[in-house]
Amino acid sequence: MIRLDVRHDPCVRRQCEESAITLVSLGDEVGATAVMGIAAALVELTANSE
């Protein structure tokens, strides 16, 4: 967790606010990502399901 105190008026009392943030990497390394997917399977059944 990173807490940033950014305000222009130091006399204002603190207010807590939740919001989304974006982390930006300044390096040139590409991270590995997982690829999620569903594979279709071919299933052959006999008349008696044997």
Quote the CA–CA distance of 47 and 22 in Å, as a whole number: 56
Domain that holds residue 17: 10-48
Residue 31 pLDDT: 63
Residue 46 pLDDT: 64
Determine if the pTM surpasses 0.85.
Answer: no
Residue 20 pLDDT: 79
Judge whether 22 lies within some domain: yes
Judge whether 29 lies within some domain: yes
- Report helix, strand or coil for 31: coil
Judge whether 2 lies within some domain: no
pLDDT tens over the chain, length 50 residues: 667 666 666 655 666 677 777 777 776 666 666 666 665 566 666 666 55
Domains held by the chain: number: 1
Judge whether 5 lies within some domain: no
Residue 3 pLDDT: 72
Quote the CA–CA distance of 21 and 4 in Å, as a whole number: 11
